[in-house]
Chain A
Amino acid sequence: MADPALIEKLETIANRLRRHVIKMTHAAGSGHPGGSLSAADMVAALYFHELRVDPRRPDWPDRDRFIMSKGHACPVWYAALAERGYFPVEDLVKLRHVSSHLQGHPDMRKTPGVDMTAGPLGNGLSAGVGMALGARITGRDFRTYVMVGEGDQQEGCTWEAAMMAGFHKLGNLTLLIDYNRSQVDGKSDDILCLDPLADKWRSFNWAVRQIDGHDLGQILDALAWARDVTDAPTAILAHTVKGKGVSFMEDRHEWHGKAPNTGQAIAALAELGEEWQP
């Protein structure tokens, strides 16, 4: 079991990341708050506990890698990178602005700490397979983490990569599935249901653990478990809620790719414990 003090610290950070997401997408006037909020707890656990990274050396060859395959959820990733010290927190509200290094979808050549460009769904796991194979070939012990959503798993390339990782027993590769069951057009259960999802990954020779993706204790335990599995790639199937933390966004697919207006941002931030005026 994870240390309660650590859990509390990470909960505080996740809440801060969520507040950034609201302010960033509000300032940009566009962007993807829903999937950012659902991923916030896992991103907090990765960047403030699990990942072996050094913000002063974003190109450190032995760093752990993180790929946000659901690249549209980059606001929460950028927020974590800024809070972790890769670049100034003030940069965050310039999201999507022409002068900013923070692109609408992650660009590894513009933003420090972004290990792989992302956006077109279904590609991140293949990139992660490449990194994990690269670690094996070069004899390095870094780990690679990939986060995917529903759309990623509806794309075929994810399953090509799944087969490859399972066959090669890539124990240095961990997949985090942000399973909020919601996508652009509505519920994934109605559009193209992914279930039985855990069985799918198991059948591709992955080790699978299911968790509540908003319970930081469970997230930390699962990440520790993933590190200990060395003979198979690991999938953490995290059941999440799109828009988590903001009542009017929760489980609403309409908030996949829509920015809050000023009134909505004020209300959202109030729910997240911040009195805010633009």
Chain B
Amino acid sequence: MTPPEQRPSPALREDRPRRTLREAFGQTLVELGAEFPNLVVLDADISGSLKTGAFRRHFPERHINFGTAEQDMLMAAGGLSTTGLIPLACTYATFATMRACEQIRSFICYSRLNVKVMCSHGGLEVGWDGPTHQATEDVAIMRAMPNMTVVVPADAIAVPPLLRQVVALDGPTYFRMGRNPVPIIYDEGQRFDLGKAITLRTGSDLTIIAMGVMVSLALDAADTLAGQGIDARVLDVHTVKPLDGEAIEGAAQETGAIVTAEDHNVIGGLGGAVAEYLAEHAPVPVLRVGVPDTFGRSGDPADLFPMYGMAAPDIVAAAHRVLARKKAAKTRLRKSQGLR
């Protein structure tokens, strides 16, 4: 039996090499540590999992392990930031965003402290450890906090440039990574700008707006749809907050139908953000693919994703449903114009 660490995540794209984001994170930390002498890395007893070991070996005086005390770690990060340091507090998404929620909200965000909340284990994709360790509300919680920037890289290539920009940014940031190796979807040299969505695939019939591990699945779905004669645009919204309203409004106006895809509750995350934005700026049919407002369960993510309606075929099915709504809306419009 393949040990969990090596097993592929449910993202298909079998032809692509895979890497964990955590691994890219750990490697980038060492580079950034050399570049930013005021960078400090904080852990809460899962440094092995967050891959901060290399940073600790290179810069032992700038690494602090708080033990399993996430509230203390986040609040101390706030204190550290007032001494001119840039603390990166590393733990799992559930622990940071829920156990230390108050420290992030009432101190770090309220006081705009330059603390970076660096998390792995976002989403159902955590798999085997089960719902207590699968963060499916974290983006909603972090997004609701004023002053917070929320970043969700889609693959290992996206991590170094986004992380570098996050470190250079003066203000609180939430950086969400998954657990498992995911397909590399970007070429080295791809340009990433915080706050700017990336159009991974052009298309005119509908747009799939995705974040994180779901970007890869969105590309698979778009391939399938292309075979069915449907031309789907794919957007990677690696910065959920601030949301790239221009790209989302453009997608709505130019393609007229939206499917969102996220490894997160459909409430409050990327789907929520996009639906909120479009309701006010460019109302078009929207369908949200994600965790259907329920808790996950233990298991192989390859089994969990289809079980929870979050696999590539589910995105394809959602695309068909949203296109039907788009067509129905057009028909209604034509009828009403004919009657006039």
Contact = CB atoms under 8 A, between A and B. Distances in A.
Are the chains A and B members of one assembly? yes
A134 B85 contact: yes
Q: Which of A61, A109, A161, A163 has the most CB of B within 10 A?
A: A161
Interface stretch (B10-18, B72-80, B184-192, B321-329): B72-80
Interface string B5-49: 000000000000000000000000000000000101000000000
B103 interface: yes
Interface string A130-163: 1111110110100010000000000011001101
A76 interface: no
Contact of A119 (B64, B66, B103, B106): B106
A191 to B, nearest CB: 21
Nearest to B82: A131
Interface in A100-125: 107-109, 115-117, 119-120, 123
Given A120-B102, A134-B85, A157 B78 contact: no
Given A127-B79, A131-B79, A134-B79, A164 B66 contact: yes
B128 interface: no
Contacts of B106: 117, 119-120, 123
A243 interface: no
A31 interface: no
Contact of B83 (A107, A120, A140, A156): A140
Contacts of B40: 137
Contacts of A127: 75-76, 78-79, 107
Contacts of B64: 133
Contacts of B103: 123, 126, 157
B110 A117 contact: yes
A43 interface: no
Q: Which of A126, A137, A161 has the most CB of B within 10 A?
A: A126
A123 B62 contact: no
Contacts of B61: 137
Interface residues of B, number: 29
A128 interface: yes
B102 A130 contact: no
A133 B38 CA distance: 13
Given A107-B111, A120-B102, A129 B83 contact: no
A140 to B, nearest CB: 7
Nearest to B76: A130
Interface string A192-223: 00000000000000000000000000000000
Contacts of A131: 79-80, 82-83
6 contacts: A117-B110, A123-B75, A126-B79, A132-B79, A137-B40, A164-B67
Interface of B: 38, 40, 61-62, 64, 66-67, 69, 71-72, 75-85, 87, 102-103, 106-107, 110-112
